[in-house]
A and B are shown apart, each in its own frame.
Chain A
Amino acid sequence: MTPPLNEPPPPVVEMRGISLAFPGVKALQDVDFRLFPGEVHALMGENGAGKSTLIKTLTGVHRPDGGQVVLGGDEVAFSSPGEAQHAGISTVYQEVNLCANLTVAENILLGREPRRFGGIDFPAMRKRAGEVLARIGVHIDPGSSLGEHPIAVQQLVAIARAIAVDCRVLVLDEPTSSLDAGEVAELFRIMRVLRDEGVAILFVSHFLDQVYEISDRMTVLRNGSLVGEHLTADVDRRTLIAQMIGRDLGALEAIEDAAEKRHPDGPVLLHASELGRRGAIDPFDLEIRAGEVVGLAGLLGSGRTELARLLFGADRADSGRLVVDGKPLRLRGPRSAIAAGIAFSSEDRKGEGLVADLSIRDNLVLAMQAARGWTRPLPRRTKDQLVEKYLKALDIRPANPDALVRTLSGGNQQKVLLARWLVTEPRLLILDEPTRGIDIGAKAQIQQLVTTLAAEGTAVLFISAELEEVVRISDRIVVLRDRRKIAELDGSVTGVDEVVELIAGGAAPEKVVS
């Protein structure tokens, strides 16, 4: 592995053996990372791979449990983002963190305004801001108010703010997610200008085409571990995707034996024809049988969550029909889906799943209670029996029904969420990333549970970023790319490689940047 230049300069950032654990999760394990001056370095990985954790460790938001961070040859330990910025590490986040009601110049120099006679020297401020903007070739009036400009320009102002201080390292976290092709090209032009000035740029994006266009080098993470560091030119898409999605054998091999490939021939439970929602997922056909595990495979943003949300009525479809049990079903919201025996465990456990400030007991019975309505409370004894049953069945710890869900580890929270739906005895269980960000033990338990449920006749729609996992437990695999269903494969004969091939499928033409 050679740096892009012939005479390699020493890395400006070197992270060695970084480890960081959150309760119940090992977010980073022994990760090495190097960033050279004058390069654009892409940090790659699926959700939960540890990208943002690694960035936050670099920018002083988190402190690593182990390992060292070396900046320009000196070991550093930032205790706040401010310190990191002072040392020359600037970060621009996905959402623009600026004040729309202030002027462009004020935003660029907020907190470090030039002063004169104890007041702010506005002419000097506009001049300095103008210089910074000129450096990256953005020609707007520094005295105009930021809110007048489109989001893309605001993003460039955020970058101007980041480089207004002496900045050696610029971190861009998903800067392109809300930009169109022309704006992306403008951003890339600026990134190249800065790169040529010697700034080290760390770039995160889940658009592969963009990564291949702009980056010189990449580091791939998976499950909090380093998978590899490559020159972008040396690694093709297929290899990259395979690395990101990965093979995570070992601890999970036990499941493989349990989940012998079956050919469920239960009655058709759900049939979607031409179901779709503009801007979310193109119309698709899908059939799910009782006792069948259908896996959804695709990269982040491929439409896997969007598809699931349509089937649950979390979002409304604007085309197509849904037939459940041979009868047409119009989903007006989650309630009608729940009434039809459909359950949906969201990928966003904290935001859309659990009610963090309520107890395990309340969270467990929430869906069932909601279906009964508030006037018919579950009798205390039934409640206790249910709670006791699922605490034991899913091995939820602590086994204390009064513990607030907020205090539980990720894996146990996930189990509580699962249990909430199991209580309602659904006929179709939609699991969106049920194993993300949880430890390997809980992961195995959840996969085991899916297999058991299917054997008992429950249909399961299983979504996971980890292809290994999808292939292992699915009877059938639906492959999504760019918000389209592109294939349906027999799970018993499909291998990971085959799915990777489909997902990679060459460049997606509509995302190519001019």
Chain B
Amino acid sequence: MKNRLLWPLLALAALLLLNLIVTPSFFSLRMQDGALYGGLVDVLKNGAPTLLIALGMTLVIATRGIDLSVGAVAAIAGAVTCVHIGTSGSAGTAIAGMAIALVLCAVLGLWNGFLVAGLGIQPIIATLVLMTAGRGVAMLVTEGQIVTVNNTAYKQVGAGFLVLPISILISLLVLGLVAFVTRKTALGMLIEAVGVNPEASRLAGVRSRTIIWTVYVFAAVCAGIAGLMISSNVSAADANNAGLWIEMDAILAVVIGGTSLAGGRYSLTGTLLGALIIQTLTTTVYTIGVAPEVTLVFKAVVVIAVCLVQAPKARAALSFRKVAVPS
């Protein structure tokens, strides 16, 4: 386990070091009005939605699945909440709006689970349906406009501080919860069993369908909360751009964290590291002033490098010694 996380950890350290060299003030923190500010805090705050979505994605990927719809689901959550809040400034309306949005997200997760576990459609196709249709739903909800709200309570979710940004506290809380639930109950083991060998698990009496269904609902709820953070941070719902391509970042975070896309064993700590790497990378692009037109190329190069150093074959080539590669 330690070994598996070593490379992501080194990659993160290297990225942070690069930032420190370019911007010596990157690590400095300051307190202002009971809130912590600084480059590191920014990384955490901006990375919170990605981390949250990556957590849901980790469990989905562990069952051999994938969920492409999370970005669209995030947009729907933001849209529903903002439309519900409208011009109201009351905390009650905000909470009710968020509750409605999350319940809706759970229903969307049920839909994904139905397509994958119920009808047996390939996950990448099944969730592609909602990935494209979901944006349309969000457009319908917002009637094609960018809906802005002015609600202090809602603003707290994505932009508020309790010393640390509230968004990252929420994400870490969910991380803790998932870690606790999957490792203290048998859920984690059963998820892995289903991911490694669905047929053997079925014959051992595992309720594979229920488990697959559960992880898609969980992923959708995570996406919903992330959508609330994104929308709350700017006090607006943008059906087109909220959470755009965040599914790709989340999948990358999971893969960088060492969970195989082939399903099976997963690592939540790895996903945490992966999400931090992705966000630090995005921040780095700005701090070191990479030209905007090559930003994506730069990100791609770093991601490929991180994935390569994790591959046994590449490492063998790097260290010039023979490593047993299972054929």
Contacts and interface: CB of A to CB of B under 8 A. Distances in A.
Interface of A: 312, 314, 333-335, 338, 344, 346, 351-358, 362, 366-367, 369-378, 420
Given A357-B265, A377-B184, A377-B185, A371 B205 contact: yes
Interface stretch (B5-13, B189-197, B285-293): B189-197
Contacts of A367: 204-205
Contacts of A356: 196-197
Contacts of A344: 203
A358 B199 contact: no
B49 interface: no
A416 to B, nearest CB: 12
B200 A370 contact: no
A378 B203 contact: no
Contacts of B206: 366, 370
Contact of A370 (B197, B205, B265): B205
Nearest to A338: B205
A356 B192 CA distance: 11
Residue of A333, A351, A374 with highest tally of chain B CB at under 10 A: A374
Contacts of A370: 190, 201, 204-207
A155 to B, nearest CB: 27
A385 B184 CA distance: 18
Contact of B211 (A333, A351, A374): A374
B97 interface: no
A377 B186 contact: yes
B196 A374 contact: no
Which of B200, B206, B211 has the most CB atoms of chain A within a 10 A radius of its CB?
A: B200
Contacts of A351: 197, 199-200
B202 interface: yes
Contacts of B197: 351, 354-356
B89 to A, nearest CB: 41
A374 B186 contact: yes
10 contacts: A334-B202, A351-B197, A352-B199, A355-B192, A355-B193, A362-B189, A366-B189, A370-B201, A374-B186, A376-B186
B187 interface: yes
Given A375-B186, A376-B186, 6 more contacts: A314-B203, A333-B202, A335-B205, A351-B197, A357-B265, A362-B189
Given A314-B203, A354-B200, A371-B205, A366 B185 contact: no
A310 to B, nearest CB: 13
A333 B200 CA distance: 13
Contacts of A346: 200, 203
Contacts of B227: none
Interface of B: 184-187, 189-190, 192-193, 196-197, 199-207, 211, 264-265
Nearest to B191: A374
Contacts of A353: 200, 203
Q: 4 closest A-B pairs (Cβ-Cβ)?
A: A370-B205, A370-B206, A377-B186, A374-B187
A367 B201 CA distance: 8
A314 B184 CA distance: 30
A406 to B, nearest CB: 9
A153 B173 CA distance: 60
B8 to A, nearest CB: 20
Contact of A375 (B185, B199, B265): B185
Contacts of B192: 355, 357-358, 362
B199 A357 contact: no
Most A CB contacts (10 A, CB to CB) among B190, B201, B205 go to B205
A355 B205 contact: no
Contacts of A362: 189, 192-193
A346 B200 CA distance: 9
Nearest to A362: B189
A261 B277 CA distance: 67
B326 to A, nearest CB: 9
A100 to B, nearest CB: 18
Given A362-B193, A370-B207, A355 B201 contact: yes
A338 B185 CA distance: 21
Contacts of B186: 369, 372-378
Contacts of B187: 374
B182 to A, nearest CB: 9
A358 B193 CA distance: 7
A409 B150 CA distance: 65
Nearest to B265: A357
B201 A366 contact: yes
Chain B CB within 10 A, most for which of A314, A355, A358: A355
B270 to A, nearest CB: 16
B111 to A, nearest CB: 23
Contacts of B202: 333-334
Nearest to A371: B205
Contacts of B189: 358, 362, 366, 369
Contacts of B185: 374-377
B103 to A, nearest CB: 22
A352 B265 contact: no
B207 A357 contact: no
B196 A358 contact: yes
A337 to B, nearest CB: 8
A352 B205 contact: no
A312 B264 CA distance: 26
A377 B187 CA distance: 8
A345 to B, nearest CB: 9
A362 B197 CA distance: 13
Contacts of A357: 192, 196, 264-265
B205 A334 contact: yes
Nearest to B183: A377
A372 B185 CA distance: 11
A217 B207 CA distance: 50
Nearest to A314: B203
Nearest to B187: A374
A375 B182 CA distance: 10
B258 to A, nearest CB: 13
B201 to A, nearest CB: 7
A334 B208 CA distance: 12
A420 B196 contact: no
Contacts of B204: 334, 366-367, 370, 420
